[in-house]
A and B are shown apart, each in its own frame.
Chain A
Amino acid sequence: QSALTQPASVSGSPGQSITISCTGTNTDIGAFHLVSWFQQHPGTAPKIIIFEVSNRPSGVPSRFSASKSGTTASLTISGLQAEDEANYFCSSYTLSRTHVFGSGTMVTVL
């Protein structure tokens, strides 16, 4: 199972909006409505910020939103803040009953 494809890095100024793409195949993202997004600050464990494509767990700011079209999922951070600087990973359930992560995107707040 190959990793989902994400851009290596995305940057933006405070207050701006950025979007991270996550491209898979018809055996993972395209097959299920089960895409998640995780935020990971250096030296810490990943934290879930989106589940089931577009749902935010309690406590996750509303500036994080996500969607899916076909085999590509997207995470948008609106009103970028300094504390959003982190690595972001997408993941999906697959037809093989496994999970697969994206390659990861480093978000830099300029």
Chain B
Amino acid sequence: EVQLVESGGGSAQPGGSLRLSCAVSGFNVSNTYMHWVRQPPGKGLEWVSVLSSGGATEYADSVKGRFTTSRDNSKNMLYLRINGLRGEDTAVYYCAREWRNSLGDWGRGTMVTVSS
């Protein structure tokens, strides 16, 4: 059974950093395209990043330079490092597995709140 479980969210101050984790089971992150998507409270979905099976990354313009996605194949984990936190980064962050050129499986999300 495919499962994705995010963790690492919480409260942080503007300018700070956080590392979100996504524990995966039922498939290998090493041979799958993996995405991060976020959703501010009461708002819509925003695509954040993708990490390809070959290790290439792409980011939304709104996070480029501050967000870094990576993986640990030995632990079957996906990560999202967020630097220079801003108020507009407040959101639920989901990890998702790419399937048929879409986001086929999602975790339940982890909440990040940026506030002083």
Contacts and interface: CB of A to CB of B under 8 A. Distances in A.
Real binding pair: yes
Contacts of B94: 45-46
Interface stretch (B17-25, B69-77, B101-109): B101-109
Contacts of A91: 45, 47, 102-103
Contact of A45 (B35, B60, B99, B107): B107
B61 interface: yes
Q: Name which of B46, B58, B101 has the most chain A CB atoms within 10 A of its CB.
A: B101
A97 B33 CA distance: 12
Contacts of A102: 44
Listed residue (A38, A44, A46, A100) with the most chain B CB atoms within 10 angstroms of its CB: A46
8 contacts: A3-B44, A45-B106, A48-B102, A52-B102, A89-B45, A98-B47, A98-B60, A99-B50
Given A38-B45, A98-B47, A101-B44, A1 B100 contact: no
Contacts, number: 67
A57 interface: yes
Contact of B100 (A51, A97, A98, A103): A51
- In the complex, which range does the number of interface residues on chain A fall in? 20 to 34
Contacts of A44: 108
A59 B50 CA distance: 26
A36 interface: yes
A34 B102 contact: yes
